[in-house]
Chains A and B, each alone.
Chain A
Amino acid sequence: MRIETCYFCSHPVYPSKGITFVRNDAKAFRFCRSKCHKNFKMKRNPRKLKWTKAFRKSANKEMVVDSTLSFAARRNVPTRYSRDLVATTLKAMQRVSEIQTRRERAFYKQRMSGNAANRRAADRKLVEENQHMLPEVRARLQQQAELSDVEETIQEEAIAVAIPARQRQAKRQVQAGDAMDIE
């Protein structure tokens, strides 16, 4: 019993899962799910599909060169069982996977390191171009309005008075209910 890897997406395939295709030259292809199987039958190249490990590895999105990756390998020399050896192996496996995750994280950080500056530049540009959309501009306007509150009320009354009576009548005929035009 062993955990195979999917031929197409490199996902681990546990015993009793997936499907195996054996070609007439005896090469076995294990697929984790029907999606991978179908894509294989369509003769797609896993390196060109973004969702496969093959793509991620070839596009430098995953750690490929590292000493931790050489621990798991198919050795074609049979080793006689020894309890001590298996015990040390199990311990080593834990430690190796620990180091591997740590390095993967470092790799990811390294990969993403250039993004912060780009994002900042983009933000700055966006803010510069869209000043009018910010609430603080309006807040400033409002502040100014509050300062000249008294003057404004007086002005408003004056405007109200200034509107000619005839115009007011016309408007009334057009409008219905609460609705009014604003620009």
Chain B
Amino acid sequence: MVQTTWKAIAPVPTSQEFLDIVLSRTTRKTPTVIRSGFKISRIRAFYLRKVKFTQDTFTEKLQAILDGFPKLQDIHPFHKDLMNTLYDADHFRIALGQLSTAKHLIEQVCRDYVRLIKYAQSLFQCKQLKRAALGRMATITRRLKDPLLYLEQVRQHLGRLPGIDPNTRTLLICGYPNVGKSSFLRSITRADVDVQPYAFTTKSLFVGHFDYKYLRFQAIDTPGILDHPLEEMNTIEMQSITAIAHLKSVILYFMDLSEQCGYSVAAQVQLFHSIKPLFANKIVFVVVNKIDVVKPEDLDVESQKLIQTMLQGGDVEMLQLSCHTEQGISEVKNKACERLLAARVEQKLKTNRATDILNRIHVARPIGGVTREAFIPDAVKEKAKYDVNDPNRRKLEKDIEAEEGGAGVYNINLKKNYMLDNDEWKFDKIPEIFDGKNVYDFIDPDIESKLAALEAEEERLEAEGFYDEEESIEDDEEADIRVKADFIREQKQLIRNASRSKKALKNRAVIPRQKMPKNMSEMKNSLEKIGLDASSVLDRARSKSRGRSAAGRSRAGSEMGGDVEMRDISMHDISQMTLKERAKSRARSQSNRREDGVTDEGARTKAEKIAKLNQKKMNRMARQGEADRHVSAALPKHLFSGKRTIGKTNRR
């Protein structure tokens, strides 16, 4: 790809700046401290390095400038000619040549002084040699003042040149000054070109881009050309000539028949003829501008004849437009683009690449040249064309909607389009759920045959006795056993419940069953429940139990002896007396537990022995009591596990 724009050339410094850059770089990047006491080889190396480094930097910088600028022999002829007209190719080449020469000179200076420094005897000598070397290099650089300035200007101008691609689709607009070339560019592209009512408003090439058929086109506006020999043309005109000569494009030669531009029709026709040699192998259009003022038909016969001379040869076409009224602009543009595209395609087809592609394309055809036409059903062919004004026209869904109340009210009925065996069924409500089942799961075209098969199976099973209920009638003995077993189970459950409720005592003292008091009524009930007669047992128990009255009697008798002392106490405080008496009598009524149930001294000792013996086992087992000292847990887990809030105890 040949370069077409040079917007990124590095700035070219002036000679003084150039010198500053190189020398400061040398001081920055090389060692600066040296002493006369150092070894001479070290001193020499120090200065050699300085000189060589400076030379390297010079070469590098100069080479960078040389590489940044385009080489005239490498670029497209259009750009080459354009640069020639704008910057003068000789001047440009000489400037670059001077830079190159300077580079060589500096290299030579470096070589000479390196050789000298190698034999220097002292630090002072080395230093002087270095100074001389750098001084000479600086002198060479200072001589580059003019070329550097010139190159900087060229760089700035190159950067601002429009990016013209010589190979792309291009419309080239040319003609006398002030005939409306820039107006046309403005009207077909987005380019913001200056349009003024005087000649040579456009002093250089301008580019605008536009799209046609999804392809990018560039339109180039050229400065006006006057009709005089090529040698007399100025730089501005030469740019136009360069563009016309070198770009493969459609040439739009603009004319102003109204002569408002200040040039006669004859002059304009003359110019066309004089630059005609440049139009060889190009598509040329003569575009008549300002037709809102004068049209070609309105001209006098002489001028018309002149114009006809332009169109001779047949390959030049005349188009008309008016930038002022925008009449015919797009027609001109489209026509030009069409012709350009056709020409480019034609040109491409001539190359080998096109034939390569064409060879690869294969279109299959029916064997034997049979023609296969598209099948169109008769119904479609006979269908009457829909016409809004026809009273017998087809009724569309839209019409129905309008009849039924319009959009938002009418609800489209899709059921009417159902394709069913019977049209009456269209609006049936289909059950979805039946007896807790999905109806759709059962819908099956051959359900009847399946059901018949099931019925047959059912009959077979019934015949086989699959459903026979074997009522096993249990005999009397079995029934008896069952009743008994049920009874036993119930009883067991009752026992279980009773013992469970007994366990509900939990921590309270357990009274031995023998010592539990039982009511006579309870005993009677339970005996009767078992089926025993309780009367005899109850009679016996009653006869043995002590009656209330008897107990009272005995108590009264015992009091007789004990109350003697009480009589001696003064009787005035009767209430106090009665209280005390009552307390005493209560104390007396509680029998001495040591003596109770003991007949004589022998029985007593015996009872005590038995008591001790009973206690012995208990003492030996050493059961824990609540009076004993008790530590529930040495290290209660909840107090010693887990991390502390402070963040210690990291052993866990």
Residues of chain A whose beta carbon lies under 8 Å from any beta carbon of chain B: 1-3, 12, 67-68, 71-75, 79-83, 85-86, 88-90, 92-97, 99, 102, 106, 109, 113, 116, 120, 122-124, 126-127, 130, 133-136, 138-139, 141-142, 145-146, 152-153, 156, 159-160, 163, 168, 170-175, 178-183
Using Cβ atoms and an 8 Å threshold, which residues of chain B touch A178? 519-520, 545
Q: In the complex, which residues 234-281 of chain B have their Cβ closer than 8 Å to any Cβ of chain A?
A: none
B191 shortest CB reach to chain A, Å: 55
Question: A126-B485, A126-B488 known; 5 other A-B pairs, CB under 8 Å?
Answer: A75-B441, A90-B439, A120-B481, A126-B489, A138-B531
Q: Tell yes or no: B428 within 8 A of A by CB.
A: yes
CA A163 to CA B544, docked complex, whole Å: 10
Most chain A CB inside 10 Å of its own CB: which residue of B440, B472, B485, B543: B485
B353 shortest CB reach to chain A, Å: 51
A89 touches B447 (CB 8 A): yes
B437 touches A97 (CB 8 A): yes
Most chain A CB inside 10 Å of its own CB: which residue of B458, B484, B533: B484
B454 touches A89 (CB 8 A): no
Most chain A CB inside 10 Å of its own CB: which residue of B439, B448, B454, B539: B454
Using Cβ atoms and an 8 Å threshold, which residues of chain B touch A113? 470
CA A156 to CA B509, docked complex, whole Å: 38
Using Cβ atoms and an 8 Å threshold, which residues of chain A touch B370? none
A-B contact pairs, 24 of them (CB 8 A): A3-B433, A68-B454, A80-B419, A85-B445, A88-B448, A89-B443, A89-B444, A92-B448, A92-B451, A95-B451, A113-B470, A120-B478, A123-B481, A126-B488, A130-B488, A134-B488, A138-B532, A142-B531, A145-B533, A171-B544, A179-B517, A181-B515, A182-B518, A182-B523
Q: Tell yes or no: B626 within 8 A of A by CB.
A: no
A135 touches B530 (CB 8 A): yes
B439 touches A86 (CB 8 A): yes
CA A125 to CA B454, docked complex, whole Å: 46
Residue of A nearest to B520 (CB): A178
CA A156 to CA B538, docked complex, whole Å: 12
State the interface size on chain B (CB cutoff 8 A): 72
B420 touches A82 (CB 8 A): yes
CA A36 to CA B441, docked complex, whole Å: 25
B428 shortest CB reach to chain A, Å: 6
CA A34 to CA B37, docked complex, whole Å: 97
Residue of B nearest to A119 (CB): B482
Q: In the complex, which residues 472-509 of chain B have their Cβ closer than 8 Å to any Cβ of chain A?
A: 472, 478, 481-482, 484-485, 487-489, 491-492
Give the 10 A-B residue pairs with the shortest CB-CB distance, closest first: A123-B485, A179-B517, A172-B546, A72-B441, A139-B531, A135-B531, A2-B438, A130-B488, A127-B484, A138-B531
B491 touches A133 (CB 8 A): yes
Residue of B nearest to A80 (CB): B420
Using Cβ atoms and an 8 Å threshold, which residues of chain B touch A81? 418, 420, 425, 428, 430
A144 shortest CB reach to chain B, Å: 11
B441 touches A127 (CB 8 A): no
Using Cβ atoms and an 8 Å threshold, which residues of chain A touch B472? 116
Residue of B nearest to A145 (CB): B533
Q: B520-562 interface mask toward A, CB cutoff 8 Å, 1 = contact, 0 = none?
A: 1001000000111100100111011110001100000000000
Residue of A nearest to B518 (CB): A182
Using Cβ atoms and an 8 Å threshold, which residues of chain A touch B419? 80
Q: Tell yes or no: B431 within 8 A of A by CB.
A: yes
CA A181 to CA B533, docked complex, whole Å: 19
Using Cβ atoms and an 8 Å threshold, which residues of chain A touch B418? 81
Using Cβ atoms and an 8 Å threshold, which residues of chain A touch B424? 83
Using Cβ atoms and an 8 Å threshold, which residues of chain B touch A12? 436
A181 touches B438 (CB 8 A): no
A142 touches B532 (CB 8 A): yes
A142 shortest CB reach to chain B, Å: 5
Identify A180's interface contact among B425, B466, B541, CB under 8 A.
Answer: B541
Q: Tell yes or no: B422 within 8 A of A by CB.
A: yes
Using Cβ atoms and an 8 Å threshold, which residues of chain B touch A152? 536
Q: In the complex, which residues 350-393 of chain B have their Cβ closer than 8 Å to any Cβ of chain A?
A: none
Q: Tell yes or no: B467 within 8 A of A by CB.
A: yes
Residue of A nearest to B522 (CB): A182
CA A68 to CA B482, docked complex, whole Å: 39
CA A98 to CA B503, docked complex, whole Å: 54
CA A59 to CA B240, docked complex, whole Å: 100
CA A170 to CA B544, docked complex, whole Å: 11
Given A67-B457, A89-B447: A142 and B533 interface contact (C-beta under 8 Å)? yes
Q: Tell yes or no: B297 within 8 A of A by CB.
A: no
A17 shortest CB reach to chain B, Å: 13
A135 touches B431 (CB 8 A): no
A180 touches B545 (CB 8 A): yes
A170 touches B597 (CB 8 A): yes
A72 touches B442 (CB 8 A): yes
A79 touches B433 (CB 8 A): no
Using Cβ atoms and an 8 Å threshold, which residues of chain A touch B434? 90, 93
Using Cβ atoms and an 8 Å threshold, which residues of chain B touch A2? 432-433, 438, 440
B532 touches A127 (CB 8 A): no
Identify A75's interface contact among B444, B481, B523, CB under 8 A.
Answer: B444
Q: B575-606 interface mask toward A, CB cutoff 8 Å, 1 = contact, 0 = none?
A: 00000000000000001000011000000000
Using Cβ atoms and an 8 Å threshold, which residues of chain A touch B433? 1-3
Q: Tell yes or no: B469 within 8 A of A by CB.
A: yes
Using Cβ atoms and an 8 Å threshold, which residues of chain B touch A142? 531-533
B590 shortest CB reach to chain A, Å: 12
A14 shortest CB reach to chain B, Å: 8
A80 shortest CB reach to chain B, Å: 7
CA A34 to CA B432, docked complex, whole Å: 26
Identify A109's interface contact among B440, B451, B469, CB under 8 A.
Answer: B469
Identify B435's interface contact among A79, A93, A134, A146, CB under 8 A.
Answer: A93
CA A180 to CA B520, docked complex, whole Å: 8
B484 touches A134 (CB 8 A): yes
Using Cβ atoms and an 8 Å threshold, which residues of chain A touch B431? 86, 90
Identify B454's interface contact among A67, A73, A123, A181, CB under 8 A.
Answer: A67
A101 shortest CB reach to chain B, Å: 11
Given A2-B432, A92-B442, A133-B488: A85 and B541 interface contact (C-beta under 8 Å)? no
CA A155 to CA B520, docked complex, whole Å: 22
CA A133 to CA B523, docked complex, whole Å: 17
Q: Tell yes or no: B609 within 8 A of A by CB.
A: no
Given A97-B435, A175-B546: A79 and B444 interface contact (C-beta under 8 Å)? yes
CA A116 to CA B447, docked complex, whole Å: 41
CA A142 to CA B453, docked complex, whole Å: 69
Q: Tell yes or no: B73 within 8 A of A by CB.
A: no
Q: Tell yes or no: B421 within 8 A of A by CB.
A: yes
Using Cβ atoms and an 8 Å threshold, which residues of chain B touch A163? 544
CA A68 to CA B453, docked complex, whole Å: 11
Identify A173's interface contact among B450, B485, B518, B597, CB under 8 A.
Answer: B597
B441 shortest CB reach to chain A, Å: 4
Given A86-B439, A138-B531: A106 and B488 interface contact (C-beta under 8 Å)? no
Q: Tell yes or no: B514 within 8 A of A by CB.
A: yes
B324 shortest CB reach to chain A, Å: 66
Using Cβ atoms and an 8 Å threshold, which residues of chain A touch B520? 178, 180
CA A89 to CA B517, docked complex, whole Å: 77
A74 shortest CB reach to chain B, Å: 6
B209 shortest CB reach to chain A, Å: 50
A79 touches B454 (CB 8 A): no
A86 touches B531 (CB 8 A): no
Using Cβ atoms and an 8 Å threshold, which residues of chain A touch B531? 135-136, 138-139, 142
A127 touches B488 (CB 8 A): yes
Using Cβ atoms and an 8 Å threshold, which residues of chain A touch B515? 181
